[in-house]
Chains A and B, each alone.
Chain A
Amino acid sequence: MKIWTIFRYEFTYLVRCVSTWLYGLVLIAFAMGMSGLISPGDGVYPNNTFLITSIAVLGGLLWLVMGATVAGEAAARDVQTRMSPLTYTTPISKLHYLGGRFMAAMAGNALLVLLLPLGLLLSFYLPGMEEEPLQPFRPWHYGSIYFMIVLPGAFVATALQFSFAALSRQVMTSYGASLLLALVAQILAVAVAKLFGNWDLVKLLDPVGVAGIVGNELQTWTPSEKNTRLVTLEGMFLWNRVLWIGVAVGALWFTYLRFGFTHRVSSGRWRHFEWRSMAPSRTTAEPAIGRAAAIRVPSVSRSFGFATWVWQTLRIAGVSFVRIARHPMGLPLVGAMALALVVFADRIMVELGIPLLPTTQQLVGYLTAPINKINTPWVVIPLLIMYFVGELIWREREAGLSDIADAAPVSDWVLIIGKFLGLGLIILVWMALLMAGGIGMQLSLGYDNHQIELFVQVLFGLQLLDYLLFALLAVVVHAVVNQKYIGYLLVLLLFSFMAFPSSFGVEHNLLIFGADPGWWYTDMRGFGSTLRPWLWFKAYWIAWALLLTVVARVLWVRGREHGLQHRLRVVRHRFTRSSTMVALLGAGLMLVLGSFIFYNTNVLNEYLTSSGLLEQKVDYERRYGRYRNTLQPQLTATRLRIELYPDRKAAEIQGTYTLVNKEPVPIDTLHIGNLSGAASVEVKFNRPASPKLVDHALGHRIYRLEHPLRPGDSLRIHFTVHYRSLGFRQNGTEELVVKNGTYFTNYDLLPAIGYQRQRELNDAVLRKKYKLAARPALPFLYDQEARKKPFSTDQAFFEAIVGTAPDEVAVAPGTLQRTWTEGPSTCSGQAPSSGSGQERRYFHFKTSTSIGGEYSILSGRYAMQEKDSNGVAIRIYYHPGHTLNVGRMFRSAQASLAYYTEQFGPYPYGNLTIVERAGGGGGATADAGIIYYGETYALMNPDDGSEGFDLPYYILAHEVAHQWWGLARLTPAHVEGAGVLIEGLAVYSGMQVLAKAYGDGHLRQYIDALHASYEMPRSLATASLLRANEPFLYYRKGGLALHALSEYLGKKKVNGAMRELLRKRSSGAITAPTTLHLYGELQRVTPDSLHYLLHDLFVGNTYWRLKTKKLTAEQTKTGHWEVTLRVEAQKLTVDSSGQEEEVSMQDWLEVGLYEEGKGLNKPLYLRKHRIRSGEQTIRVTVPRKPDRGGIDPNHLMIDLRYDDNMRQTGK
């Protein structure tokens, strides 16, 4: 059989290729490494199917981008090596030739990907690899994953790679197929899913499985399922396999039809897809010349000076540039992305689904990404760089021109730098395209403040340099490795090192090529202090780049000698004066800059690895955890004198805490924690006390009072905090005190009383690893001891005088009493003089009542507006350029204050401060009497028409609600469910204000948004609302459940229950509320007939499956319409292990009918019916003809499929 011979030959050839083994090695190493790095969660064995499936899928992605040549070579090697005239003329059939070749490639790839499960097996069972106990070895797990997921994926990829290469007759186009599958299909699938809001589509469309399987399917598995569950061949996954195998077979069939054993004459359609055809183009005949006149060689002048170098370099750069620019992937890909920016501008410029003003600040943030961030679309740029570097470096050699070019009197420097510059030019054009896309985006959204200089600064400054450094690294690797594909592989590995350095145990940015501490730009802070460290790091990397360039130059292969020995020998006399100079310069700079950076990051600042950080937490708990229950006096008043020096990034804080012993026993020891490492702190007492322990490293001090503090007695602590940000850090921690953007909380700089529970490690697995006592992340709801402890006992009056730069405005909680300016001479003597003797501005704030234990201090060049709302002064401090939402915030705050006062009781704080916090973020946060919103919030530009959704209005209403349902007032017990009392009640309150201002339309949009988070792939096995332990439950389910209740019971009753809860807390009847208290209040207002609903929503983890199967309407003789609904209902509970159990239902559910063209807020019929489990028929008579209708039309129940609740009226 010829096909067998072809197969055998090709397969043997594959086995003999070094690269094949290398791919195998990488895959095994990947599987073993990843398996070793990932620690399974609690109750999950190391050899769980979740891990095996994920690593198999991710390894498949790695194989895809790495090993495309296996199929590519099989398909197009003959043409590439110009052997095709010999092979194509042999009497073999297309089927045998292509079939044999494809089968060989497929067999090779099947074996390669088999190494993934094999590597995993090794990582589990090789002695010394795994210390944790394993679950029994189940071969079918590996078999199922290999045959269902990995192998079909490999088949699809091989088929496409093979087809691409065979039809284009180029090995390299197989990478195009890989790219298509790895990126385009992936991104497309996610985009389609987002567009249609149906995540099942990802499962259907994603060929690789990174989004469809790992990102989607696996996320719904519960911990117990993770051990043994497998992806089964059913549903969307089955269709996915069918679809892609269909595509693969189709591609192969098409290849078979189109392929021909012909000498390719470059013409026709394919020419446009060929970059460099190895087959000669159509040759032209020329007349024979008989004359034999001698050739006269013109005499020219040549020069070999520096000018010539420059000329030659530029020319090579130009030629390289043109070459890439003409490549089908060279400019179009980035160009298409830029175009997509413009076309989809209104989809991209959104935050939380709400359109944003496309300010340049937002755009430069969107258009750039650190080079090592791989989950952005811009990852294509490093990938393109990798690809084109290889092509440029190998260009002469692949064209066969290297002998001639190498023998030309050109310096190696010229060749290297010229090619690098050519690539640099391309990157420059890419940046220009992105900039055009960005400006186009602004234009298409009707925004015209372009801030071109910021675009230029970011794209042609920051981002360009990053890409250039990476390109140079790739050039050096190719020059040194001198094997094209191994070069590609190595660059890819280096790239993955840069992307996941911590997986390799490297964290410090001095050790990750091209890395920097990051930069940000916001309208308020500008680049802040991020630019300087960024530049130092880049200078350091440029020094490295110089050094690497010398390496590339001395190892640059010129001519025919490729042996390592020879190349090392040549190195000697290649170290010319210029090379040595550059090398010395590079090394010198590298050492000097490296030392300088190290001094800043590790000497001036504390450098902690992530494990170091964990160990610090562990140390803290081990040493001081025993004081967890030590009784401490309570903070009742805070007085601060704060001097901010934004120019110098420094602050000086003098404070006095008044503490009262509210315990029944005397207290003789004081614990002061949270003394930040960045600041030095001095502490004094107003009564004799001696330090017993001062732990600077962990920020904890213990003082012994000479005379114990008797119950009811008070004590004052005076402290001084000197804070100064010195140098810079290796990763970009936010600066606290910055020009036009100071923002810090009391946790950042101020001392706290007692052991700081929030500093403990929370993650169960990590606690086990560090041998800390096992405990739940949140204490058990029914733990009586824990229920006595509120989140924070601090309830202090607050007063602060904040001094800041003369052009800035300081903001703190409380009412502004007074503001004044002090001249340079009156500057406080203790404060370090700012040198220039500037005048300073002072602001005096004071609260009229006690606020909780959390607050922030801000300073910036704010503009301020003030409005009164029934005696409450509302002040909004905002960045002068961010005026869009100021009016909206006033409206929302006024409406909220009025509504909540009416429903839940008076507003206690006298004034309300709303202040813009420098930095991104579309959300807002609240402390007592003060609300902070991010800069992105200020740019939200919602549609506030009746069809729109005013989310910013809601967000502020939510934050105002925290003035009632906040840590400072409700102060729940530190147990499960506490988040529901804080966030759930605030969500529900905010919804009411939104509905009151905008009507049902906006409310419905918000409810849909809450439901949408249920549609994201997630496990159904969550805790109940009473024992809620994650934000999803606090915000989403909490809001939905309370909203459903209010629809069943009426707002008045629910609000009344909430009001009662707050009243009892304020009066002291309840000291630390829990969800059980809320439940009790709700129970009191719920009629017996609906107790089941309250139970289902709060106690159980209940889901409904409601569906209208048939809806018919017939007109009666009286002109009325008799409507028949056939509905199906089911109710089930899901326990924490994911076990579903159907429960019989007899529930009151809304049944609604709607006329054509009328919205949900204008029902023709809406009444509650008793619905039991199973199918049933409902008959109602209505006066007019219904167009659609169904069960639970307002989506009050938790149902994962809402689209089938209603249907159109049928015949």
Chain B
Amino acid sequence: MALRDVSLTIPNGMYGLLGPNGAGKSTLMRILATLQEPDKGSIHLGYIDVLNQQEEVRRTLGYLPQEFGLYPNARAEDLLDYLAVLKGITHRASRREAVETLLKQTNLWDKRRQKLGGFSGGMKQRFGVAVALLGNPRLMIVDEPTAGLDPAERVRFLNLLSELGENSVVILSTHIVEDVSELCTRMAIINRGQILLEAEPLKAVEQLRGKIWRRVVEKSALVKLEREHAVISTRLLSGRTVVHIFCEGDPGNGFEAVAPDLEDAYFATMAGHYGNRKPEVAL
């Protein structure tokens, strides 16, 4: 996905990148992780010029890609140790300690002598987390990290991220709105390579207060409703359809006001009714 005119300012703390599949999140993340370069533009992390000082960026970086593989015949402990060396932890004792701690923390300690080829999706993901955490990164870039984690793991990991966010930058991309709403101090919504909204999640929700209306209708009435109102989301509920619309004033017509949540903000932004970075072409 090509990115266009993306300019973001990311402070300390957790930063959520929200957007549908293929919106350009991963591209943006890879650019931040020095794996890809924009045709134009500049990126600065603190005082570091990302494009020209890749080495410096990498020293502060913890990166968990959305998709990655592992050497199937390697053992978890060995590979983590190897990657620790690549991350610059050359002191043997501290490397060993870091590897041990991280394997224990990610519940992989018992599997440390097992071949990575035999890891399940979740175990693999946890191994990736351990790799990303190696070497106290000041910038964490995690691309869809919770995919494949079981609920308990997900909570643990997100907690960890928010702790890390206390004194470093954590950029989290996800298409799960809850992840952002629960944790992030700031967020951006991205679609088709463009940033549609950049805000603090709570403020974004606050600004929508009184503009989101809800009504439960039969499926057959949906088409008419979509013509008349700015529908931002529909959801099936016990065979009927719950419709959320965006409207500055009371739309009447049987709609009731609802307290907006981040999901509403997301859908409203995606639908083009909301956002501080309107695209040039209305969607």
Contact = CB atoms under 8 A, between A and B. Distances in A.
Interface string B114-128: 110111100100001
A296 interface: yes
B119 A283 contact: yes
Contact of B160 (A294, A308, A560, A566): A294
Contact of A295 (B106, B123, B152): B106
B88 A409 contact: yes
Nearest to A313: B85
A629 interface: no
> For A298, A301, A316, A410, which residue has the most chain B Cβ atoms within 10 angstroms?
A298
Contacts of B136: 297, 299-300, 302
Given A291-B152, A292-B155, A301-B91, A560 B30 contact: yes
Interface in B36-82: 36-37, 51-52, 55, 58-59, 61, 63-65, 67-73, 82
A294 B105 CA distance: 8
A316 B86 CA distance: 9
Nearest to A298: B101
Nearest to B105: A295
B71 A409 contact: no
A408 B117 contact: no
A693 B72 CA distance: 80
Given A291-B152, A400-B67, A560-B30, A407 B111 contact: no
A404 B62 CA distance: 9
B240 interface: no
B72 A298 contact: no
Contacts of B123: 283, 286
Given A404-B128, A573-B52, A289 B107 contact: yes
Contact of A408 (B64, B87, B102): B87
A1208 B98 CA distance: 82
Nearest to A319: B82
A771 interface: no
B178 to A, nearest CB: 15
A276 interface: yes
A404 B70 CA distance: 10
B5 interface: no
Contacts of A405: 83, 86
A405 B131 CA distance: 10
B68 A401 contact: yes
Contact of B115 (A281, A296, A297): A281
A12 interface: no
A407 B117 contact: no
B135 interface: yes
B8 to A, nearest CB: 19
Contact of B34 (A281, A286, A302, A559): A559
A301 B94 contact: yes
Contacts of B21: none
A304 B90 CA distance: 9
B88 A304 contact: yes
Range, interface on chain A:
35 or more
B120 A559 contact: no
A479 B228 CA distance: 59
Contact of B36 (A404, A408, A559): A559
Contact of B117 (A280, A560, A561): A280
Contact of B152 (A289, A403, A410): A289
Interface residues of B, number: 66
A297 B156 contact: no
A311 interface: yes
Nearest to B162: A294
Nearest to A307: B90
Q: Which of B85, B98, B155, B164 has the most CB of A within 10 A?
A: B85
Contacts of A298: 97-98, 101-102
Contacts of A407: 33-35, 58, 61, 63
B159 interface: yes
B22 to A, nearest CB: 15
B152 to A, nearest CB: 5
A558 B34 CA distance: 9
Contacts of B115: 281
Contacts of B156: 292-295
Contact of B68 (A293, A295, A400, A411): A400
Contacts of B65: 403-404
Nearest to A410: B86
Interface in A255-301: 266, 276-278, 280-284, 286, 288-301
Contacts of B64: 404
Contact of A300 (B69, B71, B89): B89
A319 B52 CA distance: 30
Contacts of B34: 406-407, 558-559
A570 interface: yes
B95 interface: yes
A409 B59 contact: yes
Interface string A473-508: 000000000000000000000000000000000000
Contacts of A409: 55, 58-59, 61, 86-88
A399 interface: yes
A304 B72 CA distance: 29
B270 interface: no
B170 interface: no
A303 interface: yes
B187 interface: no
A368 interface: no
A850 B159 CA distance: 106
Interface in A307-323: 307-308, 311-312, 315-316, 319
Contacts of A410: 58, 86
Contact of B97 (A300, A311, A312, A570): A300
Residue among B69, B153, B159, B163 with the highest chain A CB neighbour number at 10 A: B69
B274 interface: no
Given A281-B115, A281-B117, A404-B131, A292 B58 contact: no
Contacts of B70: 399-401
A-B interface, 8 closest residue pairs, ranked by CB to CB distance from nearest:
A400-B69, A559-B35, A409-B58, A281-B117, A281-B118, A302-B88, A403-B65, A408-B86
Interface of A: 266, 276-278, 280-284, 286, 288-304, 307-308, 311-312, 315-316, 319, 326, 395, 399-401, 403-411, 558-561, 566, 569-570, 573
27 contacts: A280-B72, A280-B118, A281-B118, A286-B120, A289-B107, A296-B101, A298-B97, A300-B134, A302-B87, A302-B136, A303-B88, A312-B88, A403-B33, A403-B67, A404-B63, A404-B65, A405-B86, A407-B35, A408-B58, A409-B61, A410-B86, A411-B55, A558-B34, A559-B33, A559-B34, A559-B37, A573-B52
Given A277-B117, A403-B35, 13 more contacts: A266-B117, A280-B117, A281-B72, A284-B120, A286-B123, A292-B159, A300-B136, A302-B87, A312-B85, A406-B34, A407-B34, A559-B30, A559-B35
Interface of B: 30, 33-37, 51-52, 55, 58-59, 61, 63-65, 67-73, 82-83, 85-91, 94-95, 97-98, 101-102, 105-107, 110-111, 114-115, 117-120, 123, 128-129, 131, 133-136, 150, 152-153, 155-157, 159-160, 163-164
